[in-house]
């Protein structure tokens, strides 16, 4: 029990490696200590238990803010919201449990451990990122952006490649420290040094090229309280606030948050559109507005539409949030969801092959809220796009660490793609991020603010844009197969040595 409690604490402490704390060495250290616990008593069952304890502590500390959306804003009764949050974290903990269980089952020798542990960890993270529509939040690689030398791997192998390097560092460094008489001690230490030096070298490479003159951008943060956002009596004030913020801007690209206008597109007063369009055209500008859009029949979409100097265009969100925008396994789960007063839980999916919007002289790849957590989906619009734009409404999570974690995810997307990321949110974190993942300018949370920034579009393609997650996943799979292969050969030698 003491080891399980220690694993739980190590998992919870690991959250300090992510935003808003950014202590990037911390998750590497805690993973090394988890591996140390595994080494003391190997085996699949033991590994699974330790991995589950680690994961449960990690996700309870890192994503328990889902309780805020369920209870504070979704009106779900507190006991039910607590139970759903705990079950959700327990489900997520199954992935590190499987990784540790697999490593414990096959890693009885040091060399196999060096291969199996990082490979199993990243393969289960990748699985978590797409199974049941995916929840890749707090993948290990995010902790290394933007300051760690390992961030240099992101444009090549993406977040899972960075995570693989981080997990390998944990295992190899532990082996070098503990195995004083083992012949692989110094090669393991050398591998860590080469890995980090190589990543630092990659970080200095300019993978993409700036294009044209700087573009003036306004990122509008309206700060409409979530509990007021959908109330009819708030509508006039919301429209007036955003119209005033738009008219106060002389930027060529003005971006509003997700569902900034709590009306369907066809319900927005004509005078609002006319005034905004007139102002935008006078400045040769374009405005990107987040709002729901009615489609054919009963379909409606979470959309971003453009108005202004360019031809009107639209982007429709394609990767929807389970339970927030659609109900998976509806016959089974709909009664539970009905306990929460979450509006708009029946969005339709936009097409996955939408192209960038041609606005303000740029090709803008729009993604809405949760979509930027999926790197391979972002690169569908690349290398054609010159800028990335994310519009979000994370007011659902209140004054928690969720908005900062979401900002770090956006920082990873900027580094992977070699494109600036422009984020407009309702209550925070509204920010402009450069191609190195650094925040150029941001708004304080829970303030009504317009972030003014000048950015340049970028052209070209990083290796990650060309190949996505496949190289990182294939590398992890090969490492795991190699660990199995060494085990088979070791067993064969043992059998041959028996009389």
Q: Which residues are catalytic?
A: 258, 317, 369
Query: For residues 43 and 104, is the Cβ–Cβ distance under 8 A?
Result: yes
392's CB contacts (< 8 A; 6+ apart) are 257, 258, 368, 369, 406, 423, 424, 425, 426
Name beta bridge partners: 424: 391
Q: 3-state DSSP call for residue 66?
A: helix
170's CB contacts (< 8 A; 6+ apart) are 28, 29, 31, 32, 35, 117, 118
Question: Distance between the two ends of the chain, CA-based, in angstroms?
Answer: 41
How far, in Å, CA of 392 to CA of 45, rounded? 41
Please count the residues of the chain: 499
The per-residue DSSP string of 229-251 comes to: HT-GGGHHHHHHHHHHHHHT---
> Using CB atoms within 10 A of its CB, is residue 329 exposed (0-12), middle (13-18) or buried (19+)?
exposed
Two structure tokens written together for 419: 């494109």
Integer angstrom CA distances of residue 441 from 160, 452, 459, 492: 27, 8, 22, 60
251's CB contacts (< 8 A; 6+ apart) are 216, 217, 218, 283, 285, 452
Query: For residues 95 and 127, is the Cβ–Cβ distance under 8 A?
Result: yes
How far, in Å, CA of 234 to CA of 465, rounded? 42
Interhelix angle 25-40/44-63, rounded to 10 degrees, is: 150
Q: 3-state DSSP call for residue 351?
A: coil
Render the burial of 116-133: b for 16+ CB within 10 Å, e for the rest. bbbbbbbbbbbebbeeee
Query: For residues 10 and 32, is the Cβ–Cβ distance under 8 A?
Result: no
Contacts 24+ apart (CB under 8 A), 226-235: 226/73, 226/393, 226/395, 226/396, 226/398, 226/426, 226/427, 227/73, 229/259, 229/262, 229/393, 229/395, 229/426, 230/262, 230/343, 234/262, 235/262, 235/263
499's CB contacts (< 8 A; 6+ apart) are none
Largest CA distance in the chain: 92
Name beta bridge partners: 209: 459
Strands (E) across 93-208 are located at none
């Amino acid at each position: 029990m003491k080891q399980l409690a220690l694993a739980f604490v190590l998992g919870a402490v690991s959250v300090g490696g992510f935003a808003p704390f950014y202590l990037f060495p911390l998750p590497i250290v805690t993973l090394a200590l988890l591996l140390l616990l595994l080494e003391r008593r190997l085996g699949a069952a033991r590994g699974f238990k330790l991995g589950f304890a680690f994961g449960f502590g990690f996700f309870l500390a890192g994503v328990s803010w889902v309780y805020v959306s369920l209870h504070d804003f979704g009106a779900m009764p507190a006991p039910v919201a607590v139970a759903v949050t705990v079950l959700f974290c327990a489900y997520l903990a199954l992935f590190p449990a499987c990784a540790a269980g697999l490593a414990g089952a096959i890693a009885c020798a040091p060399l196999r451990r060096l291969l199996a542990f990082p490979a199993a960890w990243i393969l289960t993270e990748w699985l978590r990122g797409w199974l049941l529509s995916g929840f890749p939040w707090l993948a290990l690689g995010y902790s290394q952006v933007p300051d760690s030398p390992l961030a240099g791997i992101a444009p090549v192998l993406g977040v899972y490649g960075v995570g693989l390097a981080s997990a390998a560092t944990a295992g190899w460094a532990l082996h070098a420290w503990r195995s004083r008489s083992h012949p692989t001690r110094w090669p393991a230490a050398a591998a860590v040094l080469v890995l980090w030096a190589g990543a630092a070298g990659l970080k200095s490479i300019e993978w993409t090229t700036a294009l044209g003159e700087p573009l003036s951008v306004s990122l509008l943060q309206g700060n409409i309280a979530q509990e007021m956002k959908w109330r009819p009596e708030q509508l006039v004030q919301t429209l007036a606030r955003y119209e005033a913020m738009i008219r106060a801007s002389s930027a060529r690209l003005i971006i509003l948050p997700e569902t900034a206008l709590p009306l369907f597109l066809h319900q927005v007063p004509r005078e609002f559109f006319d005034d905004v369009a007139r102002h935008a055209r006078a400045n040769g500008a374009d405005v990107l507005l987040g709002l729901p859009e009615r489609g054919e029949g009963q379909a409606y979409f979470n959309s971003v539409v453009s108005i202004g100097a360019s031809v009107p265009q639209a982007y429709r969100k394609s990767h929807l949030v389970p339970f927030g925008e659609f109900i998976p396994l509806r016959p089974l789960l709909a009664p539970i969801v009905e306990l929460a007063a979450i509006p708009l839980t029946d969005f339709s999916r936009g097409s996955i092959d939408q192209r960038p919007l041609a606005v303000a002289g740029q090709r803008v790849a729009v993604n809405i809220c949760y979509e930027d957590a999926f790197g391979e989906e972002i690169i569908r619009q690349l290398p054609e796009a010159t800028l990335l734009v994310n519009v979000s409404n994370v007011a659902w999570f209140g004054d928690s660490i969720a908005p900062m974690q979401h900002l770090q995810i956006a920082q990873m997307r900027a580094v992977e793609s070699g494109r600036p990321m422009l984020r407009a949110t309702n209550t925070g974190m509204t920010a402009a991020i450069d191609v190195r993942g650094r925040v150029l300018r941001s708004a304080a949370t829970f303030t009504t603010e317009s972030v003014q920034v000048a950015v340049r579009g970028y052209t070209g393609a990083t290796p990650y844009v060309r190949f996505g997650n496949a190289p990182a996943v294939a590398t992890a799979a090969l490492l795991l197969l190699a660990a199995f292969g060494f085990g088979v050969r070791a067993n064969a030698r043992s059998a041959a040595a028996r009389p």
